[in-house]
Amino acid sequence: MTNPIKKIAVLTSGGDAPGMNAGIRAVVRTALANGIEPYGVKNGFQGLVENEIEKLNHQSVANCIQRGGTILKTKRYDEFKDPAVRQKAVDVLQQHEIDALVVLGGDGSFRGAKLLAEQSNIKTVGIPCTIDNDIMGTPYTIGFDTARNTALTAIDRIRDTAFSHSVNFLVEVMGRASGFLAMDVGLAGGAEFVMIPELATSTEQLIERISSRSRMKLGSIIVVAEADEAGRSFNISKDIKKAIDIDYKVCVIGHTQRGGTPTVHDRKVASLMGYNAVKFLMAGQSNKMIGYDDEVCFVTDFPSIEAGSRTLTNEQLFEINNILCDI
Ligand code: F6P
């Protein structure tokens, strides 16, 4: 069977995630190996609408696999919800005779890719990238492993001060709707407690828990997922002080978790996903997302809006953490 794809464009959209560059590199080089011309779109869907497209070659993606961020740059672009704006993107792609588009991003970016495929004959495939690891339909998203290692390194460093000064810390990590990041670094970092969006633990419940400890713990660490209020740990700390007069210093790790050198795992998964994105397009797939589970890439539907974010359901992790943190 002849390959129906002659030209593939690739873009990154939404929040950056370490490993995106390895994904772009894999798309470009797999395309070239199969006689397909690869194109790079700068600045996500906005750049697509504004015709920021250039032809890529082997060299264009040299020396990027070890870099965080995205060499193609990224944007959040709400205007893409408008069919007239999307039509401009279709026109640009057709003008370049591009048959297929690979989108590296999260839920919002995939909605754009889905609508684009439904509105035109452009074939689209999504590669899931977010440090939150919260996209429905895939147990793993690019960037998660690097982010949890970055956050863990921060916690280990904070622990030095926590121990030396016998002072407690609230360490705030990212995670808007899901606690995968918070739970993993809490467990691996020996946190006394982990607050995740799924359980919506109130400050009162946290205070009750701290007060119910059999012995006074000093130098302990509580991991707080930022949920939908980045910086919420400052208020939590004030409330603890007011209620039970115990000091908790606050460290918000913030965007340090989104950058930096991707880990082996993220580079490997991104390479597999990028390769498979091209292969699935060549096999006639479109309007789909790549998933990854235990060394295997699969193709699945883009997540629906109704499905929401993937959330942490493994209660055993809490049980284990409770035992290991020695309350
Ligand atoms: O990439 C996901 C995420 O890191 C969330 O955990 C966080 O709430 C959000 O991005 C913050 O993104 P920004 O500051 O780019 O809006």
Residue whose C-alpha is closest to residue 253's, from 180, 153, 162: 153
Q: How confident is the model at residue 33 (pLDDT cuts 50, 70, 90)?
A: very high
Our answer to whether residue 247 is catalytic in this structure is no
Ligand 1 contacts CB of residue 131 (under 6 A): yes
11: three-class secondary structure by DSSP: strand
pLDDT tens string 72-87: 999 999 999 999 999 9
pLDDT tens string 52-108: 999 999 999 999 999 999 999 999 999 999 999 999 999 999 999 999 999 999 999
131: three-class secondary structure by DSSP: coil
Q: Name residue 165's amino acid.
A: H
Nearest CA to ligand 1 atom 6: 175
Q: What is the pTM of this model?
A: 0.96
Q: Note the pLDDT of residue 207.
A: 93
pLDDT tens string 150-167: 999 999 999 999 999 999
What is the Å distance from ligand 1's center to 135 Cα? 14
Ligand 1 contacts CB of residue 20 (under 6 A): no
Ligand 1 atom with the shortest distance to the CA of 226: 8
What is the Å distance from ligand 1's center to 228 Cα? 9
DSSP letters, 78-129, are GGGGSHHHHHHHHHHHHHTT--EEEEEE-HHHHHHHHHHHHHSS-EEEEEEB
Ligand 1 contacts CB of residue 132 (under 6 A): yes
